[in-house]
Structure 1
Amino acid sequence: MMTSEHFNSAAGIDYVIDIRSDTVTRPTASMYEAIANADLGDDGLDGDPTAAKLEQSTAKLLGKAAGVFMPSATMANLTAIMAQAGRQEVVLAHADSHIYGAERGGAAISGAFYTPLAGAAGAMDMDALRRALSGNRSKLRTAVVCLETSHNSAGGTVLPLAYMEEVKTHAHAAGAVVHLDGARLFNAAACLGVPARQIADHCDTVSVCLSKGLSAPMGAVLVGPRATIAKARELRRALGGNQRQVGIAAAAGLVAIETMVDRLVEDQKSAAALSSAVAKVATIKVSTPQTNIVLVDTALSGKPAKDWEKALREAGVLVRPWGEFMLRCVTHRHISIDDVKTAAEAFNNVAARFAAS
């Protein structure tokens, strides 16, 4: 297995273990080969054949009629909302979801009203959802209900299929559609032990990211009904996301969905091992991961996340602050079991240093 190890003599560190995100994954050798041999066309004119193949393959994989290749999952989510919600219509999402927490600035473009709903473990409270769907004081129509699985800010938690089906039932009864931010959909499928299509069945539109654990260098695919995807393609052009010989990127995406999905269980094993090892440090609390994300609460140590991030970086381990006293660690294909052991040792050493000071 390829690891994150490399030399950084300028910093005086002879290794770096990067668990900030699974977006740091590099393309595989097969992806580079596919890029070099990609059949190309102009996706803004006659279409790019490799991009078209990726769109069709992803749609088929997830049981939808059509797909469109996007530069990013952020654009995929935005175009999905714009294609299904009019101006002054409501978009409901979990209060800690990526769509609400990081992407709701898109409302300035869409004209939709993003409304957060509280909940636990990445799931909106069902009673709150029913009340929101039944109407609001402003009399605005709810057009889209957004779900996220696995749920980033909840530590990679996975929505139960029964919950997703209940959301879909209530949304459709109220005349709304369901959009799934499936940036890490395949991680969720690996956790549940079901095909990704079985999760996608509970949603009208689904976005999937190719550049996280699947290791493609860029891009996302939005899938859904043919008319909705046609509208999203038009919106992609309006937002500046129209691309030319994009088959160069789509070729890597094809390899990603064809060869990289099944290995995600390895990342989840690494996350479980990391959680178990770091949990032995008395002055921090660690989440028990469902997928490949581990949250580390540093409050008991008396040191904020930024101090831990700095100290761990000096020890050759890169993590990401996720709040005043929270760190996020994400495993991926470049993280070996040896890397997990080294990272856990760094946590232990930093804890000892903080305790001594």
Structure 2
Amino acid sequence: MDFRSDTVTKPTQSMRNAMAKAVVGDDVYGDDPTVNELEEWVAKENGFEAALFTTSGTQANLLALMSHCERGDEYLCGQQAHNYKFEAGGAAVLGSIQPQPIENNPDGTLDFNKLTAAIKPDDSHFARTKLLSLENTINGKVLPMQYLAEAREFVDFHGLQLHLDGARVYNAAAALDVEVKEIGKYFDSMTICLSKGLAAPIGSLLLGNKAFIAKARRIRKMLGGGMRQAGILAAAGKLALTEQVPQLKIDHSNAKKLALGLAAIDGFHVNPEFIHTNIVFAKLDSTVDIKSLAQKLSQDGITISPGNPVRFVTHNDISERDIDTVLEKIKAYR
């Protein structure tokens, strides 16, 4: 069992079957019917005009930033934002776009007063502020719907665009018990990752209006992201967004159980009330040798990422019984 991330999920047997039987064509020519069907379906399902199938969430976010912003522009985001902190500086390196990170509040939101202060004046000394990028979920926390509405009002007032890094937006929707389009309606663009808790082997989607997606498609080609018979992957992606969605609430329930169990172990500190979805962070006392613990667990076939805090992620390949097992082993090795 692997608790490092929900990116370690294996494709389901139905995905493997669908991939083997997928009708394919050359997607760069626009000839892959399975890709086309996925893009059209996901856009309509989530309230956008168009969508683009990409290799990864990192690529989808980069395409979004480069489509919203030109060289010398700036986007606002959180200090903990994935597209700022964990995507190799792609916006700056490849898009010549300046990130302006703002400290995230404990609940993952960004303070609108701080965002306002970060918007640059119309002056040749400064980058041009064009975009606010939010992430939902962020570190497993769900942004409240009221906050999203306020973010829309904020960008409209300041003449900005609004992007959502929605790598785990289906987790957010499951936790809020709403349809994804109820989250997406506040945004000009949105990404969806298929290869995390939704268990597809590869792929993400970028959603927006037709002109925006046409621009992103051109940039995707420029970045080497034009795929040929990509319907093999898109077939699994469609099942990720249909068959696998109910699994997310099970993952959330397992994460809550894991959080409660860890909180009862000496040296582990978890507030279960902060566990909104499938990600659990546990702060450790100095008495916990996390590297030694990780090594011992690995001998039992249990993989974690040693750190403080230590992150556990539940997913399709982690069962409720697995939660019991890992808690028993941690107690034994403490």
Identify the TM-score tier after normalising by the shorter chain: over 0.9
The residue that corresponds to 2:249 in the other structure is 265
Corresponding residue number in structure 2 for 1:334: 317
How many angstroms apart in 2 are the aligned matches of 1:175 and 1:308? 51
| 1:282 and 2:266 are equivalent in the alignment | yes
Letter in 1 for 2:249: V
Alignment of 1:70 with 2:54, yes or no, is yes
> Equivalent residue for 2:99?
114
Shift of the alpha carbon at 1:333?
Answer: 1.4
- Would you say the 8 A contact 1:87–1:111 is kept in 2? yes
Q: TM-score, normalised by structure 1?
A: 0.89
The answer to whether residue 191 in structure 2 is matched with residue 207 in structure 1 is: yes
**Which range is displaced more, 114-123 or 178-187?**
114-123
- Give 1:316 deviation, angstroms: 3.1
Structure 2, unmatched stretches of 5+, are none
* Matched residue SS, 1:333: coil
Aligned-pair CA distance for 1:150:
0.7
Alpha-carbon separation, structure 2, partners of 1:90 and 1:242: 26
Given the superposition, is the C-alpha separation of residues 46 and 69 from structure 1 closer, same or farther in structure 2, using an over 3 Å criterion?
closer
2:131 matched residue in structure 1: 144
Paired residue for 2:36, among 38, 49, 52?
Answer: 52
Q: Deviations over 1:258-282 (max 9, x none)?
A: 2111221000000011111111102
Identify the match of residue 165 of structure 1 among 149, 153, 156: 149
CA shift in 2, pair 1:135/1:348, >3 Å: farther
CA distance in 2, matches of 1:305, 1:162: 38
Alignment of 1:1-357 (within 5 A): 17-103=1-87, 105-106=89-90, 107-120=92-105, 121-133=107-119, 135=121, 138-152=125-139, 156-288=140-272, 289-298=275-284, 300-303=285-288, 305-321=290-306, 323=307, 325-351=308-334
- Give, as a single letter, the amino acid of the residue that structure 1 aligns with 2:95: S
Q: Distance in 1 between matches of 2:18 and 2:300?
A: 37
1:318 is paired with a residue whose SS is coil
The CA deviation at 1:104 is 5.3
What is the CA-CA distance between 1:338 and the residue it aligns to? 1.0
> Size of the alignment, in residue pairs?
329
How many Å separate the matches in 2 of 1:45 and 1:87? 28
CA distance in 2, matches of 1:335, 1:46: 37
Q: Secondary structure at the match of 2:77?
A: strand
Aligned to 1:11: none
**Shift in alpha-carbon separation, 1:306–1:91, aligned structure 2, 3 A:** farther
* Alpha-carbon distance in structure 2 between the residues aligned to 1:59 and 1:306: 44
SS at match of 1:67: strand
Write out the 4+ residue segments of structure 1 that deviate beyond 6 Å after TM superposition. none
Cα distance in 2 between the residues matched to 1:96 and 1:209 = 18
Q: Distance in 1 between matches of 2:30 and 2:249?
A: 39
How far did 1:62 drift? Answer: 1.2
Change (3 A) 1:39 1:91: same
CA apart distance, 1:176: 1.2
Contact 2:69–2:131 at 8 Å: present in 1 too? yes
Measure, in 1, the Cα distance between the counterparts of 2:291 and 2:219.
39
1:305 CA drift (Å): 4.0
- The structural deviation recorded for 1:143 is 1.0
Gaps of 5+ in 1: 1-16, 352-357
Shift of 1:315: 4.0
The question of whether the paired residues in 2 share the 8 Å contact of 1:180 and 1:205 is answered with yes
Secondary structure of 1:268's match? helix
The SS at the match of 2:242 is helix
CA distance in 2, matches of 1:309, 1:101: 25
* Partner AA of 1:293 in structure 2: I
Name the aligned partner's letter for residue 348 of structure 1.
K
Shift of 1:348: 1.2
Q: Distance in 2 between matches of 1:103 and 1:22?
A: 17
Q: Deviations over 1:232-291 (max 9, x none)?
A: 000000000000000000000011112111221000000011111111102111242100
Checking the alignment, whether the CA contact within 8 Å between 2:15 and 2:239 is kept in structure 1 is: yes
Distance 1:125 1:305 in 2: 34
How much does 1:57 deviate? 1.2
3-state SS of paired residue (2:76): strand
Report the secondary structure of 1:18's partner residue: coil
